[in-house]
């Protein structure tokens, strides 16, 4: 009985273990199946994503290809249109050029016909009425063809014999007598003859155009309106008259004094300052110009630019004057960037002095010049003695003579105060003419209206080598000592 029970128990146990084993194997099979399904799903997703990326890349490449083709098409169309427009404008330009050439030929032929007619009329007039009537008829006919009628009322009024001298002097900065003298001096050099085409401009009107332009500094278009002449004609007249003044009048009115004149100059300067053997007072000023096309840096004026906060270009004018403020030597045209001592070294005066022209005499300059055997300048060190102060005071009185001369020069000829329309290469001629006209006015006692006086603004830069001669330093000390010893030195510095 017990054995049968034990056997039944073992059978039930074996059946249970068998069921458990079947259950475990089923679960394992189920798990394996699920994982396989998951893997398949993931592979499918990954494959789909890869396909999407490839598709996107393909679409992007197609889009880029299409845009490149479109760009190339647009560029081709643009080039085609550009070529078409260039050809069109070229044809238009050729067309108008051809028309202009045709018109020019027609005008040329008409002028030739008119000239032939005028000559024929003149010949007929000579045959029928005489030479004078023929010229008058021919001239009148050609003036109607060639000369533009302009208003000359202002100049005709100034040119009247009864025109007030004060008003004339106010306009031309000189008296009528001085103006007439200049016209007489230049007549044979600037006079022109009448032609069959037009009457020549009178000498007085030529000189007046030049002097009024220098005196007022007005632009050429206003000069043209004043005198009833063309702008280009006025510009040409200014240069022609200035050139004649330089070539004809400069040798007479601006030259180095002879021995007799030098003696008088020495005495006059010594009476002013007590310093012996002074033959001139020297100063260098700057004339504003328009920025040149070449060597711009050389003409750049740094000191004027810093003061005015505006870019400035200039050329220099170095002048030596006598006690009456009359120029005896000028050096014109060196660039505005050069200091005074370098301008002096470039001048003809420096070369003549080295050749012995200024032996045993002095030319007084400012502190911008070096002390040399013939150039006398003030003391520039910081701590000056009583004697040195007194010397500087007396030498300053001689310097004032040159500064006053340049003040009158710029005040009388206002063209020197502003940038002119004259080309750089023509400026030395114009500036030289201004200096000569200044001398003529001063010699003839044509006083300048004090209202026209201007203030000079020229900075003095100490030269790099301020002392060029030991002997000149000893001579200056001796002059300073003699001034104080003989009671010539003033006390203004106190």
Host H or E run for residue 327: strand 327-335
pLDDT digits (tens, 9 = 90+) for 220-251: 999 999 999 999 999 999 999 999 999 999 99
pLDDT (tens digit per residue) in 29-64: 666 676 777 777 888 888 888 888 888 888 888 888
Cβ atoms of 313 and 290 within 8 Å: the answer is yes
CB-based contacts of 194, cutoff 8 Å, min separation 6 = 135, 139, 200
Cα–Cα distance measured from residue 155 to residue 426, given in angstroms and rounded to the nearest whole number:
26
Instruction: Specify the pLDDT at position 445.
Output: 93
Cα-to-chain-centroid distance, residue 87:
41
Residue 129 has pLDDT above 60, yes or no: no
Pairing of strands 362-364, 375-376: parallel
Output the DSSP codes for 296-322.
HHHHB-HHHHHHHTS--EEEEEEEEE-
**What is the per-residue burial (b if ≥16 Cβ within 10 Å, else e) of 438-467?**
bbbbbeeebebeeebeeeeebebeebeeee
pLDDT band at 151 (very low <50, low <70, confident <90, very high): low
* pLDDT at residue 271, rounded to an integer: 93
Residue 292 sits at the vertex; the CA angle it makes with 286 and 206, to the nearest 5 degrees, is 75
Half-sphere exposure of 189 (CA within 13 A, CB side): 17
For 473-483, the pLDDT digits (tens) are 999 999 999 88
Q: Give whole-number Cα distances, 70 to 67, 73, 76, 411, in Å.
A: 5, 5, 10, 72
Neighbours of 305 (CB within 10 A): 14
Helix (H) or strand (E) holding 283: strand 278-289
pLDDT at 43: 82
Q: What are the pLDDT digits (tens) for 372-421?
A: 999 999 999 888 898 999 999 999 999 999 999 999 999 999 999 988 77
Question: Looking at residues 480-490, what average pLDDT do you find?
Answer: 73
**Residue 329 pairs with which residues in a beta bridge?**
320
Is the pLDDT at 97 greater than 60? The verdict is: no
- For 114-128, the pLDDT digits (tens) are 666 656 655 555 445
Q: β-pairing, 313-321 with 327-335? A: antiparallel
Q: Which of 306, 315, 310, 311 shows the shortest CA–CA distance to 288?
A: 315
């Amino acid at each position: 009985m017990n054995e049968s029970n034990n056997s039944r128990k073992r059978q039930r146990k074996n059946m249970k273990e068998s069921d458990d084993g079947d259950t475990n194997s089923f679960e394992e099979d189920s798990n394996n199946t699920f994982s396989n399904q998951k893997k398949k799903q993931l592979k499918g997703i990954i494959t789909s994503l890869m396909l999407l990326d490839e598709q996107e890349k393909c679409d992007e490449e197609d889009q880029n290809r299409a845009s490149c083709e479109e760009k190339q098409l647009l560029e081709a169309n643009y080039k085609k249109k550009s070529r078409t427009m260039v050809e069109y404008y070229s044809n238009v330009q050729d067309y108008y050029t051809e028309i202009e050439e045709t018109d020019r030929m027609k005008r040329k032929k008409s002028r030739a016909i008119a000239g032939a007619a005028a000559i024929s009329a003149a010949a007929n007039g000579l045959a029928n009425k005489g030479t004078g009537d023929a010229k008058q008829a021919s001239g009148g006919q050609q003036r109607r063809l060639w000369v533009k009628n302009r208003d000359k009322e202002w100049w005709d009024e100034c040119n009247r014999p009864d025109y007030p001298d004060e008003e004339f002097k106010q306009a031309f900065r000189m008296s009528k007598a001085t103006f007439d003298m200049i016209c007489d001096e230049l007549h044979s050099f600037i006079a022109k003859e009448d032609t069959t085409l037009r009457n020549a401009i009178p000498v007085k009107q030529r000189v007046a155009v030049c002097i009024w332009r220098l005196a007022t500094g007005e632009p050429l278009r206003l000069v043209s309106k004043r005198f009833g002449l063309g702008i280009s004609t006025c510009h040409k007249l200014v240069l022609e008259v200035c050139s004649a003044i330089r070539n004809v009048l400069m040798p007479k009115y601006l030259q180095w004094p002879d021995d007799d004149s030098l003696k008088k100059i020495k005495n006059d300067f010594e009476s002013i300052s007590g310093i012996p053997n002074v033959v001139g007072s020297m100063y260098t000023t700057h004339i504003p110009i328009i920025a040149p096309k070449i060597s711009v840096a050389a003409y750049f004026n740094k000191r004027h630019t810093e003061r005015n906060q505006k870019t400035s270009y200039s050329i220099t004018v170095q002048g030596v004057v006598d006690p009456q403020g009359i120029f005896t030597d000028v050096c014109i045209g060196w660039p505005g960037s050069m200091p005074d001592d370098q301008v002096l070294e470039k001048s003809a005066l420096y070369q003549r002095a080295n050749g012995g022209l200024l032996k045993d005499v002095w030319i007084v300059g400012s502190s911008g010049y070096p002390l040399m055997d013939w150039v006398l300048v003030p003391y520039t060190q910081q701590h000056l003695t009583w004697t040195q102060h007194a010397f500087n005071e007396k030498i300053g009185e001689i310097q004032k003579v040159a500064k006053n001369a340049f003040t009158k020069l710029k005040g009388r000829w206002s063209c020197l105060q502003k940038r002119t329309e004259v080309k750089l290469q023509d400026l030395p001629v114009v500036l030289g003419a201004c200096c000569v006209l200044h001398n003529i006015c001063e010699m003839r006692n044509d006083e300048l209206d004090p209202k026209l006086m201007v203030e000079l603004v020229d900075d003095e830069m100490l030269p790099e080598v301020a002392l060029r001669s030991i002997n000149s330093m000893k001579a200056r000390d001796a002059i300073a000592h003699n001034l104080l010893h003989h009671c010539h030195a003033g006390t203004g510095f106190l």
